[in-house]
Amino acid sequence: EAVDLANSTRYGLSAIVYAGSADRTERVGRAVRAGIVWANTFLVRDLAAPFGGCGLSGIGREGGDHALDFHSDLKTLIHADDRATDY
């Protein structure tokens, strides 16, 4: 019921799960539609891990390699000698 309530919104920036067992926080954390889920803690962040929301929250992922993907446009350049290079 708690997961259904959390997922009933169009937003999903973050969520917090407090539970007595690691198995329950893992199960509920995986089921909640949010960009980051804290389990029995709050505002702990690994700056190398992506951060961002789901649905109408946020503008994509920040942090880690995902930030580069969001702020970059992939281009393929085809050379006359049939070489392809991604930039």
Question: What is the Cα–Cα distance from 33 to 45, expressed in whole angstroms?
Answer: 18
pLDDT attached to residue 14: 84
pLDDT digits 0-9 by tens, 8-27: 998 888 888 999 998 999 99
pLDDT of the residue at 4: 94
Locate 16 and state its tokens.
């917090």
Q: How confident is the model at residue 62 (pLDDT cuts 50, 70, 90)?
A: low
Query: pLDDT band for position 64 (50/70/90)?
Result: low
Residue 31: exposed, middle, or buried by beta-carbon count in 10 A (0-12, 13-18, 19+)? Answer: middle
Q: Which residues contact 62 (CB under 8 A, 6 or more apart)?
A: 50, 51, 52, 70
pLDDT digits (tens, 9 = 90+) for 23-57: 999 999 999 988 888 889 888 777 676 677 677 77
CA atoms within 13 Å, Cβ hemisphere of 25: 14
Domain boundaries, the chain: 2-86
The conformation of residue 71, written as its DSSP 8-state character, comes to T
Whether residue 87 is predicted with pLDDT greater than 60 in this model: the reply is no
